[in-house]
């Protein structure tokens, strides 16, 4: 009988955006805090978050996480209106915001959410400054990945 792997208590990762590295070239990564409501923190502690189609929008000199889905718990308070896909403010300092605005406005980059994790008692989001991949770039990546697997197989059997 196989046992289900238990969630590691020391594991800090809440959610990953697995499509991000497939669809974009990640050029730079940075860490940002999130302004959350109480029910959102509870749902993150339960691991109910999805970063699938999330990205960062920049407006009025601030950055916001858009498209992230935090599923509310069923035991959440009834007097609080829970919007799972609300826009959440990112907590960045002025220098980091200037970097983001410069890259997006001047160089045509996109800012996407890569992962959501705990750092001590604080929830952090890793964001990446990215450039979109074209279809031929994705095919090249797949070809390179397959060649690595084939090369490892050849090297394993060459020693025999």
Q: Does the residue 53 lie in any domain? A: yes
CB 87 within 8 A of CB 66: yes
Q: Does the residue 142 lie in any domain? A: no
Domain interval for residue 18 = 13-134
Q: What is the pTM of this model?
A: 0.74
CATH number, domain of 103, equals 2.40.280.10
84-90: long-range contacts, CB 8 A cutoff, minimum separation 24: 87/57, 88/34, 88/35, 88/36, 88/40, 88/64, 89/34, 89/35, 89/62, 89/63, 89/64, 89/65, 90/32, 90/33, 90/34, 90/35, 90/56, 90/62, 90/63, 90/64, 90/65, 90/125, 90/127
Number of domains in the chain: 1
Averaged pLDDT of the chain: 84
Ranges 53-57, 104-108, 148-152: which has the least confidence: 104-108
Q: Does the residue 21 lie in any domain? A: yes
Q: Is the pLDDT of residue 74 over 70?
A: yes
Q: Does the residue 2 lie in any domain? A: no
Q: Does the residue 150 lie in any domain? A: no
Q: Does the residue 82 lie in any domain? A: yes
Q: Does the residue 3 lie in any domain? A: no
Q: Does the residue 80 lie in any domain? A: yes
Q: What is the pLDDT of residue 89?
A: 93
pLDDT tens-digit series, residues 94-109: 999 998 888 888 877 8
């Amino acid at each position: 009988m196989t046992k289900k792997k238990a969630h590691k208590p020391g594991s800090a990762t809440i959610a990953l955006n697995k499509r991000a590295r497939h669809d974009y070239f990640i050029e730079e990564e940075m860490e940002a805090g999130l302004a959350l409501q109480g029910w959102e923190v509870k749902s993150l502690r339960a691991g109910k978050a999805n970063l699938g189609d999330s990205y960062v929008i920049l407006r009025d000199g601030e950055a916001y996480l858009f498209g992230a889905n935090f599923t509310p718990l069923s035991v959440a308070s009834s007097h609080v209106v829970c919007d799972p896909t609300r826009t959440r403010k990112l907590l960045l300092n002025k220098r980091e915001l200037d970097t983001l605005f410069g890259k997006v406005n001047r160089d045509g980059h996109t800012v996407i959410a890569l992962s959501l994790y705990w750092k001590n008692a604080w929830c952090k989001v890793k964001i990446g400054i990215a450039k979109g991949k074209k279809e031929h770039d994705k095919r090249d990546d797949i070809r390179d990945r397959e060649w690595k697997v084939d090369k490892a197989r050849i090297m394993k059997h060459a020693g025999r």
